[in-house]
Each structure stands twice: as C-alpha cells, then as structure tokens.
Amino acid sequence: MPLDAPQTSSMSRSAMKAEMLDAETELALAYAWRDRRDEQSLHRLINAYMRLAISMASKFRRYGAPMNDLIQEAGLGLMKAADKFDPDRGVRFSTYAVWWIKASIQDYVMRNWSMVRTGSTSSQKSLFFNMRRVQARLEREALANGQQLDGFQLREMIAHEIGVPLRDVEMMEGRLSGSDYSLNATQSSEDEGREWIEMIEDEGERGDESVERTHDLRALREWLFEAMARLNERERFIVRERKLRDVPRTLESLGEELDLSKERVRQLEAAAFLKMRKHLERHGREVQNLLG
C-alpha cells in the first residue's frame, strides 16, 4: 500500500532515530540472517540503514515521482541488498547496499517516466540520469572558452563523455524532450479538429490488397487441384499424407500401410511431384508470381 505524506514523514523521523551500527554488530547481524535466516537480525539491519535509503530516495525527487513511492523502492533495494550480502567479503553493508538502493530507485523512475519504455540497456540508463548534467557542464565550458557548439557537436561530446554510442544520445534526447500525449487529443483548438490517432497509418491489409490476395489464392488452389487430378489414387494419397496434413506422415509409416518399402514410397512421391510440376509449368510465370 502506498504511503501517504504523514506516513512518509513519520517513517523519516523513525529512520533518523534508529540505532547506528558499528562494524562488529553489523557483521554479527549479517551472519545471523545469512546462516540462520534470523528475521529479527534482518529487521534490525534494515531499520538501521533505512535512513540511508531515504537519503538516496530524496535525490531523485526532481524526476517527478512521489517521495513515498521513491522511499518504498529504496526500501525494496535495501532488502535485496540484505538478502544478497555476503559478510565474508569484508565489505561494510552500507557500501554494498548503496548500489542496490540506487538501482531499485532508478528502475522505478525509468519505468514511470513515460508509457514508452525509456531505456533498458546500461548505456541508456546512464544517459537518462546523466545526460542533462553532462550537457549543462559542456555548454558552460564551451561558453567560458568562447566556443559555439551546434547540436551535433554537443551530442558527440556527450556520447564521448558518458561512453555511449551517438545513436543512444540521439534517441534519449528525443525521449527526454517531450512528455506523453493522448492520441485522442485534437491537433488544433478548434472543436472539429482531427485527433492525432487519425494520422496513424493503418497497418492492416488494404481492401484492394485483400481482394487481390483472395483472387490469387483461388487461382492457385484451382491449379493445384488440376495438378492433383493428374495423379492416380495412390499418388494422391501419398501427396496428401506427406504434404497436406498438419503433421506429415513418414515414408516408413506410409510404406507399412501400402505394403511398400520406404524407398518405393519415396520414388512414388517424387514421381507425383514431377507430374504436378509439369502441369503447373503451363502457368509458369503466374505461379512464380503468386508464390513469390
């Protein structure tokens, strides 16, 4: 359940009053949770570092997400850190938890920034959270040196600075430049203005294409029926069982039913296809166009 503002303030005050753990106590709690799954030790460890989670959550308020949601995500990251922490590595839990808390908050911010997925790769994630800051610094430095940067030069410098492909910078710039709009919004302020959704091209099959496809399939079906009619009953049976069933039968199973060897069935199948091919060659180019 989302926390409302009073609850958020209360949580912040409680976190600030939580105990400060020394390295020895922190290590003992981590061992108790990892080795014995002692929930009391886990809760004590989480509560002690909730102030860290709240502090990190506050740094992401500028992205427009509610503070209570950010705190919840930070708390989830803290719990993931506690579950995966290995006290044998000799690292303080707070140092380890910072990565998980930050990752959890960043994933939440990116998921909720737009209905369109903003980014999924590490380079896109780095761009989302650093591009504006890097861009502002580069512009300040250029201004101080009396330089005039055009858009392309600036994007190239951002890509080099952050270490990502130029195409990712161009993509992220477009994503961050505008917000989501309803497709049902009108294109003008007039009452009779068209909605934006009317400008989207219909990817479905056009009427003329549907008619043409139906006509072509009908012609191809007739030619195939004519070709099948040229075969004797046994050949039609083999072609039907080998090519027209959802699950084609094997040469061996047909041989057992027809009391023939597998090789003989293969020969009859090849002969039947040859007869059909010769008949269809009369329609030559038309068949190629339909099948192409």
How far, CA to CA in Å, does 238 sit from each of 4, 66, 228? 72, 68, 11
Amino acid 289: pLDDT:
58
Amino acid 35: pLDDT:
94
| 213: containing domain | 209-291
Average pLDDT estimate for 94-118: 80
Contact 114, 69 (CB under 8 A): no
- Name the domain count of the chain: 3
Q: Choose one of 83, 113, 143: the last residue of a domain.
A: 113
How far, CA to CA in Å, does 164 sit from each of 130, 138, 159, 191? 12, 16, 5, 45
% residues pLDDT > 70 (the chain): 76
Dihedral over Cα of 77, 171, 202, 217: its sign: negative
Amino acid 53: pLDDT:
92
Task: Output the pTM of the full model.
Answer: 0.48
Verify that 80 and 9 share a domain, yes or no. yes
Contact 18, 77 (CB under 8 A): no
CATH number at residue 75: 1.20.120.1810
Amino acid 243: pLDDT:
84
214 lies in some domain: yes
Give the closest residue to 28 by CA, choosing from 47, 49, 17, 42: 42
DSSP secondary structure letter of residue 195: B
Amino acid 116: pLDDT:
46
136: pLDDT strictly greater than 70: yes
% residues pLDDT > 90 (the chain): 29
Q: How confident is the model at residue 246 (pLDDT cuts 50, 70, 90)?
A: confident
Average pLDDT estimate for 22-48: 93
Verify that 231 and 254 share a domain, yes or no. yes
Amino acid 230: pLDDT:
85
User: How remote is the C-alpha of 142 from its chain's centroid?
Assistant: 37
203 lies in some domain: no
Give the closest residue to 84 by CA, choosing from 24, 126, 42: 42
Q: Choose one of 62, 80, 113: the last residue of a domain.
A: 113
The two three-digit tokens of residue 74, written as one number = 């930070």
Minimum mean pLDDT range among 135-149, 191-205, 231-245: 191-205
Contact 131, 158 (CB under 8 A): yes
Amino acid 9: pLDDT:
63
31: pLDDT strictly greater than 90: yes
Backbone angles phi, psi at 111, to 5 degrees: -65, -35
113: pLDDT strictly greater than 80: no
202 lies in some domain: no
Amino acid 134: pLDDT:
85
Verify that 97 and 149 share a domain, yes or no. no
Verify that 42 and 93 share a domain, yes or no. yes
168-227 per-position pLDDT tens digit: 887 777 666 655 455 555 655 555 666 655 655 556 666 667 777 777 778 778 888 888
44-103 per-position pLDDT tens digit: 999 999 999 999 999 888 777 888 899 999 999 999 999 999 999 989 999 999 999 998
* CB atoms near residue 272 (< 10 Å): 23
119-132 per-position pLDDT tens digit: 556 777 777 777 87
Amino acid 147: pLDDT:
85
Q: Give DSSP secondary structure letters for 1-52.
A: ----HHHHHHHHHHHHHSPPPPHHHHHHHHHHHHHH--HHHHHHHHHHTHHH
Three-point CA angle 204, 207, 210, nearest 5°: 80
HSE, CB side, 13 Å, CA atoms: give it for residue 164. Answer: 22
42 lies in some domain: yes
Amino acid 78: pLDDT:
95
